[in-house]
Amino acid sequence: LTEVLEHEQDLPSETPDGHVMPLMVNTGLAIDMTVSLKKRISGVGLYRTEVPFMIAERFPGEQEQARLYRDQLETFSPLPVVMRTLDIGGDKDLPYFPIEEANPFLGWRGIRVTLDHPEVLMVQLRAMLRASCGLGNLQVLLPMVTNVDEVDDALKLLDRAIRELGEEGVTAQRPLIGVMLEVPATLYQLDALSERADFFSVGSNDLTQYLLAVDRNNPRVAGLYDACHPAVLSAMSRLAEESGRLKKPISVCGELAGDPAGALLLMGMGFDALSMNAPSLPRVRAAIRRVSLNAAQALVQETLTLNTPGAVRSHLFSRLSEWQ
């Protein structure tokens, strides 16, 4: 099977009935970038900018960040690179910026931190814009959005960054802006969010954690953490449907997208792209190349009638074994 998979890697991620499912990659370090990878993907669906921040000894400056970002943008150009603004807090701490809280996952995380420290976000946005000059493949993604005005505030800072750079003689193109759907509140604000954002990206890891009220890193409740919980799948399905109605591109960049069964479900639900860690690409591509869009849609319908994570898992397992 390994041999088959390796040979399949250069073939399109297309179902037997001709539906193309764009596959993207999640990155964080320079090591994640290779030329052979570039030929096999439709772009970077999630560049976690906090990763280089986590291995630094202090906040990287604008020039230093611009160099890192330029590397990503150039390596994958002309493919799009979705750069997420700093998503620290929760389980991701910077040694030089400790955040100590009783409930870190419900606390100061993602855009909450960077809007409270606009000087940090400004440096980052300026670095991204600078790095994208002449390339035009930058897209910016906002993590942990809960309220619509957080998007407004971030957009104001983006406009300010473009204006400032312009005054300094750097003409920066305005990137597409995406909102991460990972806090359950966003499920009920899609209309307002779609007026502000160009695309959506579902963070299924956090959406699962918050919908199920299960800390994604707590071993004691690890058995309860399951992206195949019927409530999570129903939420995901609704997100795909609503985004379709709003005509907003929507992708998934959480772990569910990198699981073959999960990827088939997401394809059947109507997601526009799936972004995953590079090692997950071969198995997901193989699954997509073996299952028609019709069959994936039927799988979604069957699955959405099931009431427990266990029933969902065993149904997916038996269908997938039939399709091997």
Residues that bind Mg ion (CB under 5 A): 182, 203, 206
Quickly list DSSP for 185-222.
GGGG-HHHHHHH-SEEEE-HHHHHHHHHT--TT-GGGG
* Shortest distance (Å) from residue 319 CB to Mg ion: 28
Backbone angles phi, psi at 51, to 5 degrees: -60, -55
Shortest Å, Cβ 26 to ligand PEP: 7
48 binds, among ligand PEP, Mg ion, none (CB under 5 to 8 A by kind): ligand PEP
253 contributes a contact to ligand PEP by CB under 6 A = yes
Half-sphere exposure of 153 (CA within 13 A, CB side): 15
Closest by CA to 37, choosing from 85, 79, 4, is 79
Range 150-209, binding ligand PEP (CB under 6 A): 182, 203-206
How many chain residues interact with ligand PEP (CB under 6 A)? Answer: 10
Site track 46-65 with ligand PEP (rule: CB under 6 A), x = hit = x-x-----------------
If you compute the radius of gyration of the chain from its CA atoms, what whole number of angstroms results?
Answer: 20
Q: List the single partner that 114 binds among ligand PEP, Mg ion, none, CB under 5 to 8 Å by kind.
A: none
203 vs 260, which CB is nearer to Mg ion? 203
182 or 226, CB closer to ligand PEP? 182
The residues pairing with 180 across neighbouring beta strands, listed in sequence order, are 201
CB atoms < 10 A from the CB of 95, how many? 11
CB of 146 to Mg ion, least distance (A): 12
How many CB atoms sit inside 10 A of residue 30's CB? 12
| Residue 51 or 165 having the CB closest to ligand PEP | 51
CB 48, min distance to ligand PEP, A? 6
- In whole angstroms, the minimum distance from the beta carbon of 98 to Mg ion comes to 20
Residue 254 touches ligand PEP, criterion: CB under 6 A: yes
Please tell me the number of Cα atoms within 13 Å of 94 on its side-chain side. 19
How remote is the C-alpha of 209 from its chain's centroid?
Answer: 15
DSSP labels, 7-23: HHTTS--B-TTS-B--E
Residue 78 or 219 having the CB closest to ligand PEP: 219
Question: What tokens were used for 242?
Answer: 């609503």
Q: What is the dihedral of CA 76, 81, 85, 91, to 10 degrees?
A: -80
Site string (63-92) toward ligand PEP, x via CB under 6 A: ------------------------x-----
Calpha distance 156→38 (Å, rounded): 33
Instruction: Look at residue 137 and give the partner it binds from Mg ion, ligand PEP, none, a contact being a CB closer than 5 to 8 Å depending on partner kind.
Output: none
Decide which of Mg ion, ligand PEP, none touches 73; Cβ closer than 5 to 8 Å per partner kind: none
235: Cα separation from own chain's centroid: 16
Residue closer to Mg ion (CB basis): 242 or 255: 255
Identity of the residue, 83 or 161, whose beta carbon is nearer to ligand PEP in the bound complex? 83
Site residues, ligand PEP (CB under 6 A)? 46, 48, 87, 182, 203-206, 253-254
